[in-house]
């Protein structure tokens, strides 16, 4: 028959429970199990074993184990120990010697944190001491209880595990704090030293005072939060904002300021920094380092602790000094911009500039799109000029060719007059022949002289036939 994969209790766990009062053999005697066997049998099945006989054999094979720990706690400890698949004595030796890579044992931080949950309580240690004082063998205990007895005898067990955990986390903690301090220092210095940002604030101050001059006295500065109002201050026709106009002025009058945002570095990273969080982490590192020094005082010959302290204590001192530098640099730049550093968090201060840069770029983009939409009309005007250019060139060329020969001068002058008349004189459609003749007569009446009258009659016949 197929197996029923239940979670069975051990023999020593049944005593005192409801299962100690049950008699499953009596149930089997009352029931006919042939139908059950027929429905659940497998293809190759051995004959059923008498359960009573099997239980007696198991009772003889399985020695009675005494359990000191609470069952659920013992079960969880068993699961934890199975993760390492090594002897419990090796785990305890690694903790005693502060060597996480003791022989084949690697005490990861996760495993150490799990073990920390199973540090024996005072009650459990009293039970173990009582058990041993009675002269009873530890071999009679379950595997979990034997580990607990060995584990609880490690001197300063809680301090050792805390020290090992701190040593394992130290490098990661340093690498987490250092970039945050670097971001605060770099962002503060870039904002403080940006001459382009300074000039833009000067332009904004000038426009603000100009707008308020009729109703308020002059302002000598403004809170940075006022930068958020620039996109919301509308023109009379509501089509433009104060920021749009400032962007236009900067593009036309101060083009070198347009890329001011390239001078402001690491704003996004600095805005994510919390000094409170950094200080808490530094305090935790200081406590861990003091604990390690305390352990080294009790274990002066331990090379692992000595190497760790010699290498990492100076790193922690350097990090604390850098935190002070970051704090001073930040407070200085906040005060420089007229704000209160005790009331202004990095997330608030640097976010103001992030929003201003974003709004400025958006205003620039809107301005470019507006110009792009207006460009086709300008292009049509340019095309019209280009179409008239050959005609204008012809007139210029004819003027240039006017020279001494009277006949050529009259010829060129007549052509220029014809072109000019075609552009300005109205067309009267009585008859094409009549109107053309009248037009020609008007052009040549003042030009024809006795010396070249015959020549102009030839021109007259070519331009105004009939």
Q: What is the C-alpha to C-alpha distance for residues 272 and 269, in angstroms, rounded to an integer?
A: 5
Confidence bin at 238 (pLDDT 50/70/90): confident
Confidence bin at 432 (pLDDT 50/70/90): very low
Place of tokens 């060139």: 393
Kindly state the percentage of the chain with pLDDT values over 70.
Answer: 65
Q: Which of 227, 184, 188 is nearest to 204 (CA)?
A: 227
Most confident listed range (23-32, 243-252, 374-383) = 243-252
Q: What confidence score (pLDDT) does residue 445 get? A: 43
Per the DSSP assignment, residues forming a β-bridge with 141 are 66
pLDDT value at 435 more than 80? no
**What mean pLDDT comes out for the span 144-170?**
90
**What mean pLDDT comes out for the span 188-213?**
92
Of 72-86, 102-116, 280-294, the one with minimum mean pLDDT is: 102-116
22-50: pLDDT as tens digits: 656 655 666 566 665 665 566 555 555 55
Alpha-carbon separation of residue 31 from 26, 46, 338 (angstroms): 9, 20, 91
Q: What confidence score (pLDDT) does residue 367 get? A: 87
Confidence bin at 66 (pLDDT 50/70/90): low
Do residues 329 and 185 make contact, with C-beta atoms less than 8 angstroms apart? Answer: yes
Give the chain's mean pLDDT. 77
Confidence bin at 399 (pLDDT 50/70/90): low
Do residues 268 and 351 make contact, with C-beta atoms less than 8 angstroms apart? Answer: no
Read off the tokens for 307.
């190497």
What residue spans define the domains of the chain? 11-61, 71-154, 168-194+266-343, 200-263+345-377, 402-463
pLDDT value at 364 more than 50? yes
In Å, how far from its chain's centre is CA 408?
Answer: 81
**What mean pLDDT comes out for the span 413-422?**
49
Could you tell me which residues come within 8 angstroms of residue 143 by beta carbon, excluding any fewer than 6 positions away?
78, 81, 88
Do residues 323 and 279 make contact, with C-beta atoms less than 8 angstroms apart? Answer: yes
Q: What confidence score (pLDDT) does residue 464 get? A: 46
Q: What confidence score (pLDDT) does residue 61 get? A: 47
Could you tell me which residues come within 8 angstroms of residue 66 by beta carbon, excluding any fewer than 6 positions away?
12, 131, 136, 140, 141, 142, 145
Q: Which of 48, 164, 62 is nearest to 106 (CA)?
A: 164
Q: What confidence score (pLDDT) does residue 237 get? A: 84
Q: Which of 231, 192, 343, 326 is nearest to 270 (CA)?
A: 326
Can you tell me whether residue 241 is helix, strand or coil? strand
Q: What confidence score (pLDDT) does residue 128 get? A: 87
Confidence bin at 373 (pLDDT 50/70/90): confident
Q: Which of 178, 153, 366 is nearest to 282 (CA)?
A: 178
Q: What confidence score (pLDDT) does residue 82 get? A: 84
Q: What is the C-alpha to C-alpha distance for residues 462 and 466, in angstroms, rounded to an integer?
A: 9
CATH class of the structural domain 200-263+345-377: mainly alpha
259-278: pLDDT as tens digits: 999 999 999 999 999 999 99
Q: How many residues does the chain have?
A: 466
């Amino acid at each position: 028959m197929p197996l029923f994969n239940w979670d069975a209790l051990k023999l020593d766990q049944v005593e005192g429970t409801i299962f100690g009062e049950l008699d499953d053999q009596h149930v089997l005697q009352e029931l006919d199990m042939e139908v059950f066997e027929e429905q659940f049998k497998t293809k190759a099945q051995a004959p059923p074993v008498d359960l009573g006989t099997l239980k007696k054999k198991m009772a003889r094979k399985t020695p009675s184990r005494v359990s000191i720990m609470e069952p659920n706690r013992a079960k969880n400890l068993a699961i934890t120990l199975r993760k390492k698949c090594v002897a419990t004595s090796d785990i305890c030796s690694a903790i005693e010697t502060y060597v996480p890579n003791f022989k084949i044992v690697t005490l990861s931080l996760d495993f150490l944190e799990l073990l920390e949950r199973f540090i024996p309580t005072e009650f459990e240690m009293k039970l173990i001491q009582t058990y041993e004082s009675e002269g009873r063998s530890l071999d009679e205990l379950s595997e979990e209880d034997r580990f607990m007895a060995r584990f609880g005898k490690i001197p300063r067990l809680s301090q050792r595990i805390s020290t090992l955990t701190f040593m394992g986390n130290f490098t990661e903690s340093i690498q987490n704090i250092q970039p945050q301090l670097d971001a605060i220092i770099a962002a503060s210095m870039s904002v403080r030293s940006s001459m382009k940002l300074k000039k833009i604030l000067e332009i904004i101050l000038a426009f603000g005072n100009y707008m308020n001059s009729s109703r308020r006295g002059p302002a000598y500065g403004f809170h940075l939060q006022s930068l958020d109002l620039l996109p919301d201050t509308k023109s009379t026709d509501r089509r433009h904002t104060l920021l749009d106009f400032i962007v236009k002025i900067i593009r036309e009058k101060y083009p070198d300021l347009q890329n001011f945002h390239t001078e402001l570095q690491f704003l996004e990273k600095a805005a994510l920094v919390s000094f409170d969080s950094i200080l808490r982490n530094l305090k935790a590192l200081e406590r861990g380092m003091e604990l390690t020094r305390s352990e080294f005082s009790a274990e002066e010959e331990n090379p692992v602790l000595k190497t760790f302290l010699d290498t990492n204590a100076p790193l922690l001192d350097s990090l604390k000094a850098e935190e002070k530098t970051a704090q001073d640099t930040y407070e200085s730049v906040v005060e420089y911009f007229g704000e209160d550093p005790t009331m202004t968090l990095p997330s608030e201060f640097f976010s103001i500039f992030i929003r201003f840069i974003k709004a400025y770029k958006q205003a620039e983009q809107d301005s470019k799109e507006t110009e792009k939409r207006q460009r086709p009309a300008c292009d049509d005007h340019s095309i019209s000029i280009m179409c008239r250019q050959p005609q204008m060139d012809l007139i210029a060329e004819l003027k240039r060719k006017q020279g001494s020969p009277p006949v050529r001068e009259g010829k060129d002058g007549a052509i220029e007059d014809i072109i000019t008349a075609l552009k300005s004189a109205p067309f009267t459609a009585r008859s094409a022949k009549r109107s053309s003749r009248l037009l020609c007569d008007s052009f040549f009446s003042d030009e024809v002289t006795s010396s070249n009258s015959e020549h102009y009659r030839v021109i007259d016949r070519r331009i105004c036939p009939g």
